[in-house]
Structure 1
Amino acid sequence: MNRKEKKTAKQKQYTRQLINTQDVTGHSLLTFRGDELVYFIIKPTNISVLSEANISARIYSLMTVLKGMAELEFLCLNSRESFEDNKLFLKSRLEQENNPAVRRLLEHDLNHLDRIQVQMATAREFLVVIRLKSEKENEVFPYLNRIEKTLREQGFSASRAEREDIKRMLAIYFEQNVTTERFEDFDGERWIILNE
């Protein structure tokens, strides 16, 4: 395929194909590559209030988990909006602006975004990802239960992500959207009126 044909083919792809998400099940995300991704949500620990010995113990616990299960992947996401692009835009506008009144407004906006970001500084979400490829149906849930049990035994507050958790994670990752209460299964779902 030449460059123009590739561009046309890419434009015809559905959003789900572009982000490699075939479906969200009750407990996993199915990809077009044939993977089934299961997520475990780990509640973060505020290590700034822990002693050095406790921090070392947490690191050792994580090392123990990693030694026992090499197939684990880790993901760290913001669980709130990120204003970095907005702040970069305001900074570039500030450099270009000559009007003192507009400069003050831009500075106020930048300070406001900084205050919001400081308030949400600890808003992180840690996820453990398991890729299921060739596991048999009857072996999947015992395998996942064992992983969850291991995480909890090592002192991590872990729970398996459900359908709504996965949809929320995708919305935050791709849209930076944390204000929506219920995430749609497909675009425009909220506008469909049944029996009309």
Structure 2
Amino acid sequence: MDNTKTYWEAHRQTYDTAVAAPMKALVASLADEFGDAKIFRPYRDVRFAKDKTPYKTHQGAFVPRGPATGYYVQVGAPGVRVGVGFYEASSPRLASIRDAIVDTRRGGELEEILATMQASGWELGGDRLKTAPRGFDVDHPRIELLRHKSMTLGKSYGFEPFIHTPELLEHVRTDWREATPFVEWVLRYAKA
């Protein structure tokens, strides 16, 4: 609630021990299987933002598996959240992904992956166009997927009792394993 430099400096030790250290330990425990994570800084880039509050209200970490593609975990006021996907795609990379979505076999494979994940509680997200992308028929059976400029899947744990225990590690590991087919699909077909 107090997002000022004065408050931050007075409570920096709490951030270091109660937020940063547990996040570092969590992603270090996952590194052998998923790779090294980038833990995001707590400082916001306020140069062009209307909101000039200097500090983030969440702590996130990202494990890159390809260009702008990988695994994510975050802790914040709403609790703990995990995610996977690609958060940005160059024009050639996005064209490659859309070509795969249009293809009957590859697009069907993506639909199956997404249906399985959504059935187990994952939410599909990402930046989307409001209309069909140029060159694609608005009546295409996978038009909703073709509208994506980025594509993510996320799952929230909220404040389940396990998030304050070592059991959180196994939940994140299990969910990232479950999401690996989606990450692999993106990496297989997103050519730049």
TM-score by length of 2: 0.38
Q: Larger radius of gyration, structure 1 or 2?
A: 1
**Structure with higher strand content:** 2
Higher relative contact order (CA 8 A, sep 6+): 1
